[in-house]
Amino acid sequence: MRFRFQLSVVLSIALAVLPAFADDPIPAREFFERSLVKDVEISPDGEHAALTFEEGTEVRLAVMNIDDQEVVQGFEFGDNMHVLGFWWASNERIVMAVGEVTGSLDGSGRVSGWYAGSIDGSRRVQIFDGSNALYTMLNPLPDDERHVLIMRRFFADGGMPKVQMLDVFNGDLDYVGNQPVDDDLAGFLADNDGELRAAFALKQGDSLDDRELRLYLRDTGEEEWDEFNLDSARPAPNVNFLGFSKDNTKAYMYSDHDIAEDALGGVFEYDFRTEESKLLFRDEHVDPAGLLRGPGGEVIGAVTRQAQVEYFLFDDLQEGAEQSVRQFQGVLGAFPGQDVSITSRSEDGTKNIVYVRSDRNPGEYFVFDTRENQLQFLIAAMPNLPKDRLVPMEPIVVTARDGLELHGFITRPAEQKQNLPLIVNVHGGPFGPWDDWGYDMEAQFFAHHGYATLQINFRGSGNRGEDFQRKGWREWGGKMQDDVTDATRWAVEQGIADPDRICIYGGSYGGYATLMGVIKEPDLYQCGIGYVGVYDLPWFRSGDGNDFSSGIRREQRQRFEAFMSSAVGETADELIPVSPVHNVEKIKADLFIVHGGSDQRVVVDHAYRLRDELDRIGKDYKWMIKEEEGHGFFDVDNRVDMYTAMLDFLDQHIGKEAETAQVSKPEDAARSRLAARD
């Protein structure tokens, strides 16, 4: 059973009303301002909410009383230090994973330590240092006020995971015995009561294709672990545990084991009572985004996210789940057209944190009280941004030149829909990330100033199964780039884009694709903006000193080589034809190069090497380096500087200034050039 936003409002709503805004241009800062909230978790007793928020270069944590919304405590850790994860260990104590993040595109950062503190401000301690081990939370054990259940990978032991009880007051560790005997153990899953019930082992060979997965399960109270055989149609299936049913009798997992080729993942259920598994859900186009749990914590379905969020209700619901379904449907009905999820709940299930977002909503949090059937507004990520002046993010489907179906989005200004100056915004990664439906600060900013933005999920992007990602392996500058080209031409053919006014832009891999776009298609793009991009591909392949290639441990070096040989190229020399710094002579478009001087993911020397080659051939370019920034600008002032400069650059080359400059040209000249290439 599928449903979208078609449900009636059945709850009384108490919402915060934001002030109205005039029709003056929205200042750039409002689009790129720091977020007042990133994540929210409710305490086990439902009395407090812990939330993370941006402040300067930091992500801090605050504790708020839910009833009066008064902040009662705060935790901060210094410049560039972010609270990357946090858990309620009890009603009074919080555990925080903290690490350094040096850029807005830096992903999840690098955890440097775990800390704990009480909400009255007392007994703040670092419970361990992350320099010699990795730690994963398995269960915060809210009924045990002193301990949480974690998985620890100690580097001196070769990274073999071990499950331990962690004392959140002094950092003492106690080993939890009875774990599967397997030299390749890689991870565990605990049930809702904190009992170890699932484990997996992964033997990785010299390439990403060469891997062997083994799964282990055991029932509640049992000593013996049983190996779970999937009877896979694939040599190396992808399997991820998703969680347990509320009563712990069923385990749920993401898997593509049952389809040999072009597989999308499905949600599978394993019943410990019958020892049988079955497929519950698989979408025709995208991977499941996760389980759907109702306010009471029952598993009631699955979620997908691509064109918009879509919910799928399971037919075989556990006893008592019908009320959760009705309650969740009521919450959905209160927010038509938006992506709604329950992110945490009190231990008794009576209070739930509800997260709401959309293409025109950067994110809001509410508290849903199941006893009162009432939603209480808690906090908004960007309350000063006038949501009523934002524009829709429209889903599109493009067919690539080889017949592959590609998904993406077009965002257009409110006042004009055709013959627009177009920005082709290529996402980073390239393997795994994807552009999804939701608030995109760049697309909204550009639309506000009269530009359309095209975002295409080229082969290699995530959310469409591993086989779709593999189609992008070793296609840097090849088919991945052709997908971007084909989407750009589609926008011209649809009349959306003015073919004389197209600029390509992207960050990280998107920066690479920007430079390769203007190299490979010199007559298609009038300008290109490369942001923290990879420009010397052979150097990147050999190890340019970034945080991925510079690991000193043997397993880090092995992972680097396995990724590079499988997904980038076997050798550095073979990448010269698709390396921007080696092909600058082919560039006709105007360029703007932006980088952070402290980038650890794509070191700034990529920008300098590109600059040297552009100088060598006498090619002009616009240049911006912010020395203190990393992989993507985090400081708001620097963001505003960058996007203001980008807007000036765009106005000059494809905006009103460019339109005026081209008025004497035959109006069909560019279309003729485009048709000639076809």
% residues pLDDT > 70 (the chain): 91
pLDDT tops 90 at residue 543: no
For 141: left if phi > 0, alpha if psi spans -120 to 50, otherwise beta; the answer is left
Q: Which residues of 295-325 are buried (b: 16+ CB within 10 A; e: fewer)?
A: bbbbbbbbbbbbbbbbbbbbeebbeebeebb
The reported pLDDT for the residue numbered 450 is 97
The reported pLDDT for the residue numbered 551 is 56
**In the predicted model, what is the mean pLDDT of residues 567-582?**
94
Question: pLDDT tens digit string along 576-618?
Answer: 999 999 999 999 999 999 999 988 889 999 999 999 999 999 9
pLDDT tops 50 at residue 530: yes
pLDDT tops 90 at residue 422: yes
Question: pLDDT tens digit string along 183-227?
Answer: 889 899 999 999 999 999 988 777 777 788 899 999 998 889 999
pLDDT band at 544 (very low <50, low <70, confident <90, very high): confident
Question: pLDDT tens digit string along 363-403?
Answer: 999 999 999 999 999 999 999 999 999 999 999 999 999 99
The reported pLDDT for the residue numbered 6 is 29
% residues pLDDT > 90 (the chain): 75
Question: β-strand 133-139 against 125-129: which pairing, if any?
Answer: unpaired
Check if the beta carbon of residue 328 is closer than 8 Å to that of residue 342. Answer: yes
CA triple 492-497-501, angle to 5 deg: 110
Whole-angstrom distance, CA of residue 454 vs CA of residue 396 = 9
**In the predicted model, what is the mean pLDDT of residues 530-543?**
92
Question: pLDDT tens digit string along 290-331?
Answer: 999 999 899 999 999 988 899 999 987 767 788 889 999 999
Question: pLDDT tens digit string along 40-98?
Answer: 999 999 999 999 999 988 999 999 999 999 999 999 999 989 999 999 999 999 999 99
The reported pLDDT for the residue numbered 659 is 66
Question: pLDDT tens digit string along 271-291?
Answer: 999 999 999 999 999 999 999
The reported pLDDT for the residue numbered 242 is 95
The reported pLDDT for the residue numbered 550 is 57
Domain boundaries, the chain: 391-677
User: What is the architecture of the domain spanning 391-677?
Assistant: 3-Layer(aba) Sandwich (3.40)
DSSP string of 454-523?
EEEE-TT-SSS-HHHHHTTTT-TTTHHHHHHHHHHHHHHHTT-EEEEEEEEEEETHHHHHHHHHHHH-TT
pLDDT tops 70 at residue 251: yes
The reported pLDDT for the residue numbered 670 is 41
pLDDT tops 90 at residue 406: yes
The reported pLDDT for the residue numbered 109 is 65
CB contact set of 22 (below 8 Å; sequence gap of 6+): none
